[in-house]
Amino acid sequence: MQKSSLPTMYKYLAILYTMLPASEVQSQKYAGIEQYYYTGASQPQIVPRIYLENEKNIFGEIRYNYEALNTFSFNIGKTFPFAKDNTFTLTPFGGIVLGGMNGGNIGSNFTVEYQGLFFSAENQYTFSFAEKDQNFFYNWTEMGYQLSNFWLAGLALQYTKPFEVEQSWEPGVMMGITYKNWTFPLYAFNPANSTRNFVLGINWEWNKKMKEQNPID
């Protein structure tokens, strides 16, 4: 299994800050670190991610091994909340891909939360500067229910459409444990056949409580 690239990603976090408007980065709203372990028919992989969003709803993230092996991606976008409590949001984003693959990303994140129910969908088109054969469309969708303060469960789907190659659908199930700022999700895709694969996440998120401004006397 590959060694974690989180130390290297911390170095790139400075680059992510420069991607955001300097006057807005100081008022950060939330940030998080995710590390996913992929196992199954293919070689096990580690896919880390660091992300943040400021009070102006400017979003940025760094990912590794997501688009391709030994490849970093740097994305930036803006979140549009359709509810005051941020339970219904859309975040279009774009970015650059560097490393084993060199190209760009265009995509969006969509989230809905209602009481204990949650739904999210990430759509992404990745293109290569060098070879069209590396281009692909990818979707990760999940929906579930927060069963208690510690447990969640639901369904998940991965969809991949490479350039001029047959599309791939991978339905699955998910369950997870939550504790304070930590979440430990486990996904099982294609659980009923020989192509089954598993994804284990170790995720931490920090949220800043918004403070009301006092009027100037």
Domains, the chain, ranges and CATH?
A: 6-22+32-207 (2.40.160.40)
Confidence of residue 214 (pLDDT cuts 50, 70, 90): very low
The Cα–Cα gap between 81 and 29 comes to 14
The single residue listed with the structure tokens 């859309």 is 90
Q: For 180-201, how does the pLDDT look when each residue is reduced to its tens digit (9 = 90+)? A: 999 999 999 999 998 999 999 9
pLDDT: is 194 or 73 the higher one? 73
> What pLDDT is attached to residue 18?
56
- Burial (CB < 10 A; 0-12, 13-18, 19+), residue 53, is buried
> What pLDDT is attached to residue 143?
98
Q: Taking all residues of the chain, what is their mean pLDDT, rounded to a whole number?
A: 87
Q: For 89-110, how does the pLDDT look when each residue is reduced to its tens digit (9 = 90+)? A: 999 999 999 999 999 999 999 9
> What pLDDT is attached to residue 84?
78
CA dihedral 207, 158, 96, 42 (to 10 degrees): 110
Q: For 22-67, how does the pLDDT look when each residue is reduced to its tens digit (9 = 90+)? A: 444 444 589 999 999 999 766 789 999 999 999 899 999 999 999 9
